[in-house]
Amino acid sequence: KQADIVPFLKLMVYSFESMAERAQLSYDVVFKKMSKMAYFDSDKLEKMVSNVLSNAFKYTEKGGKVSVVVDFENDKLLMSVSDTGNGIAQEDLPYVFDRFYRVEGSEKKGSGIGLALTKELVDLHQGEIKVESVLGEGTTFLLTLPITLVGLPKSALVIDQEATKVSINNNSG
Ligand code: ATP
Ligand code: MG
């Protein structure tokens, strides 16, 4: 089933506003389109987006800025999350999507799982996630996700089958 993905993303992205306030960060959000019908698995989308967004807030010091841009192109969702945080050294960049990898010397707590999980989910969608960073200046994650049936993980279709089964059972009982 298709649904409008924009209101769903807005809810998720704007839910970080209170965190921005608490952390004394400015938070810029741009949605380039008001609406876009799409196939998406809301649970998996939520995990991908919130991992990247929560990192941006976690690794940016007070007075800094987090920016989100959401756009669509050729039936793909393009979402960038930029921050003016401490950045990631070039030598660490290739490993940030590895399980349990954390940049040495970070004072922030974490398990190094968030981006590994995000990458797994992105791969499942046949999407892409890229990172650019300059140490001491900031980091940008760019997420590209197909939002047609082609990009929908099989697990999402299984959920639909389950729902069908349930309704058949109800009819016969
Ligand atoms: P968690 O499992 O709680 O998410 P984590 O945040 O340490 O723990 P990841 O989200 O996988 O783990 O990130 C891996 C590492 O990449 C982080 O420990 C951090 O060193 C670095 N990193 C990720 N995002 C950023 C960012 N926006 N700015 C600077 N460093 C980052
Ligand atoms: Mg994290």
Q: What is the pLDDT of residues 111-127, one digit of tens each?
A: 999 999 999 999 999 99
- Burial level of 12, CB count in 10 A (0-12/13-18/19+)? middle
Q: Which residue has the higher pLDDT, 173 or 85?
A: 85
For the residues 150-168, what does the mean pLDDT come to? Answer: 48
**Interface predicted TM-score of the whole assembly (ipTM), two decimals:** 0.99
> 């807005």: which residue's tokens?
10
pLDDT in tens, 127-143: 999 999 999 999 999 99
pLDDT at position 154 is 60
pTM above 0.90, yes or no: no
d(CA 102, CA 24): 25
Show the tokens assigned to 33. Answer: 């389109």
> 């892409």: which residue's tokens?
128
Nearest CA to ligand 1 atom 8: 110
Q: Do residues 129 and 120 make contact, with C-beta atoms less than 8 angstroms apart? A: no
> Which residue type sits at 83?
D
pLDDT in tens, 24-39: 999 999 999 999 999 9
Q: Is the pLDDT of residue 163 over 90?
A: no
Ligand nearest to the CA of 113: 1
The finding on whether 83 has its CB within 6 A of some atom of ligand 1 is yes
The finding on whether 103 has its CB within 6 A of some atom of ligand 1 is yes
Nearest residue to 50 via CA among 7, 16, 80: 16
- Ligand 1 centroid to Cα of residue 42, in Å, is 23
